[in-house]
Amino acid sequence: MSAHIEKLPTRISAHALGPIHPSLPAPMRLDLHLDGERIVSARIETGYLHKGLEKTLEGRNWFSAIVGADRLDSLGSSFSEMALCLAVEEICNIQVPRRAQAIRLILCELNRVSNHLSYLAKMSQCVGFETTMHYILRERESVLDLFELMTGSRFNLAFFRYGGVSADITEGFIERVFEVCRQIQIRIKEYHALMIDNEAFVSRLAWLGTVSVEDVYTYGMTGPNARASGVRMDVRKAFPYSGYELVEFNVPTGRGKRGSSGDSFDRLIVRLEELQESLQILVHVAERVPAGDFTCLKVGADFTAPLGEAFARVESARGYLGCHVISAGETSPVRIQWRTPSAHHIRALPSLLKGVTLQDVPVLLASLDLCVSEVDK
């Protein structure tokens, strides 16, 4: 074999992913420039899921706004409903009964559990562990069944109302919550064995897509993505709402155990630990649901909020979700604006994708838990 190997001519090639592509979480476009397999630069284009949500809500009455809020993120409808209701209740000076607050908290934590299970399933699928994905989705089904038992829907619950919730706890719901929490607690040990203790799985995630503390502040990243980088911020602790002030729980952060702090593995570990915390919160609150009313007023299509504005913050499964509501004292809002976590996380993508190989793109995208629906609104 010749000692002199002729260097093959190469150049940067352009590769477009999307708007529809199996490796993308939702319709969006990724324009990549590749040097062989490695990404040199990336450009993101979103807007394919723009549904004019904020404009639509301005033309609807206050009651319909709750249904519209669901569509911000279909997998996290409890959080957007909670944010909207908190803001409107602030404007109207409505005191939500303790029982209703507990019901809301339970639904939000169940939604967090469902979201994090969906995240774990998605990560397993991206890495190629399809069997694990099916196991996790089996657990998620039992959470969705709980939503159906309580609200009648598995997604897009439309269950929150200004002043409370639309119905009281269904018979058998609390017992079923305990059962599902117990079941998932047992299964989490299985997930550890299948994923965390599995070198093949860990090697796909470790050192990939490291988000530094500087990146968190540059892009405004929040939630588990920020906590994985060591930035301990959680709206439930900083600005407690709906009974969270009465619950003790830990806020896990990433420690860089298998790679760097803030890499894809840390983002997965943080969500796994948060899942465990959510299960404990659920059991704690379900054991102590106060007696009382599930709502303090009946809201119909003629509901009017007085003149004023408010900004509500909630900790959704993806991060900090804010809702700014302005009322002019009429039957429809002047403005409902959402601050969504994914809109900030997606801006970090071009810098995170640099230097990553093409095969790792789906894993990195899945690790950020992006919801393009809430980016585009």
Partner 1 sequence: MDLKSLVQKLNKDLNLSAQLKPFGRTKELMIEVDSAEYLRVSQWLRSEESARLDWVDNLSVAELKNALVFTVFLRSQALTHTLILKTETAFRGQDPVDMPSIGKIWPMALAHESEIATLFGVNFVGSNLEKARAPFPLRKDYSWEFGLE
Determine the Cα–Cα distance for residues 200 and 190; give it in Å rounded to an integer. 16
Smallest separation, CB 361 to partner 1 (Å): 22
Number of residues that bind partner 1 (CB under 8 A): 29
- Residue 20 burial class via C-beta count within 10 angstroms: exposed 0-12, middle 13-18, buried 19 and up: exposed
x/- binding map, residues 59-78, to partner 1, per CB under 8 A?
Answer: --------------------
Q: Which of 290, 324, 237 is nearest to 106 (CA)?
A: 290
Confirm or reject binding of residue 91 to partner 1 (CB under 8 A): yes
Site for partner 1 in 211-230 (CB under 8 A): 217-220
Smallest separation, CB 278 to partner 1 (Å): 23
Confirm or reject binding of residue 90 to partner 1 (CB under 8 A): yes
Determine the Cα–Cα distance for residues 218 and 212; give it in Å rounded to an integer. 10
Determine the Cα–Cα distance for residues 291 and 54; give it in Å rounded to an integer. 36
Confirm or reject binding of residue 178 to partner 1 (CB under 8 A): no
Which CB sits closer to partner 1, 27 or 220?
220
x/- binding map, residues 345-374, to partner 1, per CB under 8 A?
Answer: --x---------------------------
Confirm or reject binding of residue 284 to partner 1 (CB under 8 A): no
Smallest separation, CB 213 to partner 1 (Å): 11
Q: Which of 294, 311, 336, 301 is nearest to 159 (CA)?
A: 294
Q: Characterise 25 by phi-psi region: left (phi > 0), alpha (psi -120 to 50), beta (else).
A: alpha
Judged by CB under 8 A, the stretch of 19-27, 87-95, 274-282, 287-295 that binds partner 1 is 87-95
Other C-beta atoms closer than 10 Å to the C-beta of 108 total 28
Binding partner 1 by CB under 8 A: which of 233, 247, 283, 358? 233
Residues sharing a CB contact under 8 Å with residue 373, sequence separation 6 or more, in sequence order: 26, 49, 71, 72, 73, 74
Task: Name the token pair of 163.
Answer: 């002043």
Confirm or reject binding of residue 324 to partner 1 (CB under 8 A): yes
How many residues belong to the chain? 377
Judged by CB under 8 A, the stretch of 103-111, 177-185, 340-348, 355-363 that binds partner 1 is 340-348
Which CB sits closer to partner 1, 241 or 265?
241
Binding partner 1 by CB under 8 A: which of 322, 332, 361, 368? 322
Which amino acid, 213? V
Determine the Cα–Cα distance for residues 336 and 274; give it in Å rounded to an integer. 30
3-state secondary structure of 45: strand
Three-point CA angle 313, 314, 317, nearest 5°: 145
Binding partner 1 by CB under 8 A: which of 297, 313, 350, 358? 313
Confirm or reject binding of residue 55 to partner 1 (CB under 8 A): yes
Binding partner 1 by CB under 8 A: which of 334, 350, 351, 358? 334
Site for partner 1 in 263-282 (CB under 8 A): none
Radius of gyration for the alpha carbons in the chain, expressed in angstroms and rounded = 22
Which amino acid, 55? K
Confirm or reject binding of residue 251 to partner 1 (CB under 8 A): no
Determine the Cα–Cα distance for residues 93 and 91; give it in Å rounded to an integer. 6
Q: For binding to partner 1 (CB under 8 A), which residues are involved?
A: 52, 54-55, 90-91, 93, 217-220, 231, 233, 238, 308-311, 313, 320, 322, 324, 326, 334-335, 337, 339, 343-344, 347
